[in-house]
């Protein structure tokens, strides 16, 4: 049985889907079988980040409605064959039923070491659907008071659902944090209330890679994702918190 993780955030615009994709890609490049299922019905972005827009014919709604088999909708990443993706529907009318998603994840579980459920931001329907299938969660937040507070709301709801939680703090600029309303990252951790898994830097290279469907070049962001992957694999990698 593989890991089945909901990737979520309270606030939008924190880079959650980018974190989902590059965490999955990093694990896949380490030889793990990875599937990312996108839950943001009507507002999908994973096909662009993954560079598979031209190859994506069917979507999650087609699978859960029984119109196609999972194998017809799942697309392999051109960056690594071990990474596969199942994109959200274009139309918000394609509502994903919770029991059908749970059934799908249960059926696919044996084929993958990691399945990431990339939820929409917030605590609406997509978040609740993801909670029905996930066994653990990664909460993505940025170092600002609103994102941290909203992440705390998400963390509390996940705890009520019995889902284990870990935190990734994204888009960290050490100088900006020192000047901003949150004085250090410990404040983000305390506000969200989840154990820290990793810290990702503010990175132009990461942004450019994500909007063009490319692999990350070597650098600070790639190293940070590698450290997150190693921690998910159970390695003891020191955490640097400013």
Residue 95 pLDDT: 86
Query: What are the structure tokens assigned to 22, written together?
Result: 């590059």
Write the pLDDT tens digit of every residue in 209-239.
998 889 999 999 999 999 999 999 999 998 8
Residue 177 has pLDDT above 80, yes or no: no
Residues 118/4, Cβ–Cβ less than 8 Å: no
The 3 state secondary structure assigned to 52-98 is CCCCCCCCHHHHHCCCCCHHHHCEEECCEEEEEEECCCCCCCCCCCH
DSSP string, 188-208: HHHHHTSEEEEEEE--HHHHH
pLDDT at 240: 67
The CATH fold assigned to 3-232 is: Rossmann fold (3.40.50)
Query: Are 206 and 217 spatial neighbours (Cβ–Cβ below 8 Å)?
Result: no
Q: What is the pLDDT of residues 100-154, one digit of tens each?
A: 999 999 999 999 999 999 999 999 999 999 999 999 999 999 999 999 999 999 9
Q: What token pair was written down for 18?
A: 């980018």
Report the distance separating Cα 143 and Cα 146, nearest Å. 9
157-184 mean pLDDT:
83
pLDDT digits (tens, 9 = 90+) for 59-112: 999 999 999 999 999 999 999 999 999 999 988 888 899 999 999 999 999 999
């Amino acid at each position: 049985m593989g890991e089945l993780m909901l990737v979520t955030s309270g606030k939008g615009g924190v880079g959650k889907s980018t974190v989902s994709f590059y965490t999955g890609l990093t694990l896949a490049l380490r030889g793990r079988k990875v599937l990312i299922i996108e839950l943001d019905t009507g507002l999908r972005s994973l096909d662009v980040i993954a560079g598979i827009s031209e190859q994506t014919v069917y979507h999650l709604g087609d699978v859960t409605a029984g119109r196609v088999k999972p194998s017809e909708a799942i697309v392999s990443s051109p960056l690594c064959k071990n990474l596969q993706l199942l994109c959200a529907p274009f139309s918000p009318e394609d509502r994903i039923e919770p029991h059908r998603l749970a059934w799908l994840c249960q059926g696919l579980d044996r084929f993958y070491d990691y399945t990431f459920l990339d939820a929409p931001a917030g605590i609406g329907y997509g978040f609740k659907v993801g909670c029905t299938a996930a066994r653990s969660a990664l909460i993505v937040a940025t170092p600002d008071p609103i994102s941290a507070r909203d992440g705390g709301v998400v963390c509390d709801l996940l705890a009520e659902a019995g889902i284990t939680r870990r935190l990734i703090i994204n888009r960290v600029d050490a100088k900006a944090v020192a000047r901003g309303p949150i004085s250090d990252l410990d404040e983000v951790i305390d506000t969200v209330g989840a154990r820290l898994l990793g810290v990702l830097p503010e990175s132009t290279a990461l942004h450019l890679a994500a909007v063009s469907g490319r692999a990350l070049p070597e650098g600070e962001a790639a190293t940070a994702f590698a450290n997150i992957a190693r921690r998910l694999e159970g390695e003891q990698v020191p955490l640097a918190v400013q």
